[in-house]
Chain A
Amino acid sequence: MSDILSRRTVMKGAGATLGAAAFAHAMAPLTEWSKDLTVDEFLQKHYKELTRDEMARILVHLKAEAKQKYGRDVDIKDLPPQEGVSFGYALNLSVCIGCRRCAEACHQENNHDRSTGNSYIRVLEMQQGSLDLEHGNANYDHPVPAEGKYYLPVQCHQCDNAPCVKVCPVQATWKEPDGIVVVDYNWCIGCRYCEAACPYHARRFNWTKPEIPPEELNPDQGYLSNRVRPQGVVEKCTFCLHRTRAGRLPACLEACPTGARVFGNLLDPKSPIRWVLENKRVFVLKEELGTRPRFFYFFDK
């Protein structure tokens, strides 16, 4: 009796050892993954809870990392929102010709992965006489503007009642006082609920680590915007806050060859954006969803 029992115990022990060894082997690819994960990064607090000193240390670390990976000096800033500034954007659909230069500028400015050709802006070729996106097409590849079409560039609308912010289970995305919806790349758990919630296809997920040739890297970077994102987190258009919070115009606006884009401070009565809102018949996309976008469209004629 005891012989059988002990034999059985030995067998179980052998089985358990074998199982554990097989498990360790199965999980071996994780050693590569865990090399990139430091204890500091793992324990890093939420953006809003970081003190100035902590942020300074993080920025130093990120710059050193970029130097090591790309062999270049990059400048990563954490620019705060400006008091008395609330950003708004408008786009003139009468003059947009669908050349996608805004999408290209976004791709370069925001250090997007080169192989996927990612961009925060998607330009839809629409049927004249229709606002039904069902008749739109983002994959046009013929000379523009085409007869009978107009072009609808779509990017983050920085909604005041943002569905993406509501659904995030860990508050990794929120609305800043100047109206920009940002993501803390070091807090996002990568569940992609925000991507499902956004009605404007404004969010992107880093399905793999973004790759950019060092010479193409944009060294003017923001902590909450265009620094090279980690794998497995969500990102989005921030109205180029590393530029706009320094007073500069967004990259997509500067790249627009037809001047279709108008950007500025909604709180400044003399700003071009205010003039557009007060003098043009503007509309927002999918207004019926109650998202209250800060991105407006208008037609001249």
Chain B
Amino acid sequence: MTATRHLLDYPRFLGRLLWMSTDGSWRFYTWMTVLTAIALVGANAWAHQLAEGMALTGMSDHVSWGLYIANFTFGVGLAAGAVMMVIPAYLYHDHEMHDVTLIGELLAIAAIAICLLFIVVDMGHPERAWHLLPGIGRFNWPVSMLTWDVVVLNGYLLINLHICGYLLYMRFLGRKPRKQWYLPFVFLSIFWAISIHSVTAFLYSGLGGRPFWNSALLAPRFIASAFITGPAFVIVLLQVIRRFTGLPIGEGPLRTLTSVMRVTVLLNLFMLGSELFTAFYTGGSHATAVRYLFFGSHGHHALVPWIWTAVALNITAAVLVHLPATRRHVGLLNLACALAFAGVWIEKGMGLIIPGFVPSTLHEVVEYVPTLTEWKITAGIWAFGLMVLTVAVKVALPVLSGQLAASHAAARH
């Protein structure tokens, strides 16, 4: 009986939230208008790319993946990293963190949306996506790692949608959430977050023909870097929310997330160093991609500025998060977060996907430079992701702060 009532009430509740999310200050409208404009530029570029062919990108048969897959990989890391708030909250009973884990889960939802879009724009025939549907299409599971990625990414999206929706709905109804309805999913989401990024790493590390990727360290590196970008983004996001909405967010979560970053930035640098040692000390043809990445080879140097920028950003961020001054000046912390975020974005994107293809499997050197079309589409997708995140946070906040509750709503009618 109650189940059927919730079946009707829950969508109505979501509808109400969405409608409410369209209200806001001039700042909100400006922000959303700017994002919409960027997203539309991206949509237009994608429509051209689909009509005229992917020749509009800088990719080639030698470098067959580029900026899109680089951003996809980074996005998966962001989604996995967002769960970093759940671990202290639920595994170590950090109560202050408990109140803001929802923000991390909303970030995961937005990040997964970005990832799925980056896959769609990378496809030559996105209209054939139905071929991936189990039963209807021909889903090559479990052999193809890409099908695992489809399963884990969509699963992660559903798990997080469920947790966020359920907790908000219960808060709205003024009821205490029932543990059996969300706790198993929370623990599942922790495991699942690790799995999405491991599976994404296995996409690359399972390819024997690409020595640069064919490393057992790839998945651990992915996880470590995910736990840099997730906390870095959330640290800044929490401050933004605190500033613009007045939601009381204590210093506790920021402190915890900074501690996490202190470990992961070093771990990430350590693993990068291990890879470099193995490549350079061994030498030979298997190290050519690393040589090309860091020093250029056969007179080609396109990635050299990228990777050294990434290394500089990561090292600076590592120093900053460990400086005692960072504990006192939030500005320094934010700078460290921004640097780490950008550093990992390069390291995991242009610094990881592209050198897998240069030199090619026949050791030909074909460089890759993203075209304007690719930059437009990439910017458009990120703008769309920020729109999703903004709406999601805006939807959640009135419920979290108790502004919107079933009792009030009933009173208003």
Contacts and interface: CB of A to CB of B under 8 A. Distances in A.
Task: Tell me, yes or no, whether A and B come into direct contact in the complex with CB atoms closer than 8 A.
Answer: yes
A6 B70 CA distance: 45
A22 interface: yes
Contact of B357 (A166, A196, A234): A196
A61 interface: no
| Chain B CB within 10 A, most for which of A29, A169, A207 | A169
Contacts of A204: 61
A281 interface: no
Contact of A192 (B65, B127, B203): B65
A290 interface: yes
Contacts of B23: 8
A129 to B, nearest CB: 15
A170 interface: yes
A66 interface: no
Given A167-B146, A188-B125, A191-B146, A19 B36 contact: yes
Interface stretch (A102-110, A131-139, A266-274, A293-301): A131-139
B36 to A, nearest CB: 6
A147 to B, nearest CB: 22
Given A122-B362, A169-B132, A232-B53, A191 B123 contact: yes
A231 B150 CA distance: 24
Interface string B35-65: 0100011011001101111110101111011
Contact of A163 (B55, B207, B360): B207
Nearest to B209: A199
Nearest to A31: B51
B140 A232 contact: no
A113 to B, nearest CB: 10
A39 B359 CA distance: 41
A211 B252 CA distance: 63
Contacts of A171: 138, 140
Given A201-B362, A208-B52, A170 B65 contact: no
Given A199-B210, A200-B209, 16 more contacts: A26-B40, A26-B44, A26-B47, A33-B47, A168-B140, A169-B140, A170-B138, A170-B139, A189-B125, A189-B129, A196-B210, A201-B62, A208-B52, A208-B53, A232-B54, A289-B209
B209 A27 contact: no
A255 interface: no
Contacts of B125: 188-190, 232-233
Given A171-B140, A231-B124, A200 B361 contact: yes
Interface in A97-156: 122, 124, 132-134, 136-139, 154
A30 interface: yes
Interface in B265-299: 285, 288
A22 B35 CA distance: 13
Contacts of A196: 64-65, 204, 207, 210, 356-357
A204 B144 CA distance: 20
Interface of B: 22-23, 36, 40-41, 43-44, 47-48, 50-55, 57, 59-62, 64-65, 119, 122-129, 131-132, 137-140, 143-147, 150, 203-204, 207-210, 285, 288, 356-357, 359-364
Contacts of A205: 54, 61, 64, 124
A209 interface: yes
A189 B208 contact: no
B285 A133 contact: yes
29 contacts: A22-B40, A27-B43, A29-B44, A33-B47, A134-B359, A163-B208, A166-B143, A167-B144, A167-B207, A169-B144, A171-B138, A172-B138, A187-B128, A187-B131, A189-B125, A196-B64, A196-B65, A197-B207, A199-B208, A200-B209, A200-B362, A201-B62, A201-B362, A204-B61, A206-B53, A207-B57, A208-B53, A232-B124, A234-B124
A169 B141 CA distance: 7
Q: Name the 10 nearest CB pairs between A and B, nearest first.
A: A190-B124, A199-B209, A232-B124, A208-B53, A26-B44, A169-B146, A33-B51, A207-B55, A208-B55, A29-B47
Nearest to A164: B209
A192 B150 contact: no
B47 A28 contact: yes
Interface in A219-248: 231-234
A134 B43 contact: no
Nearest to B133: A170
Given A169-B139, A170-B139, A195-B61, A32 B51 contact: yes
A121 to B, nearest CB: 11
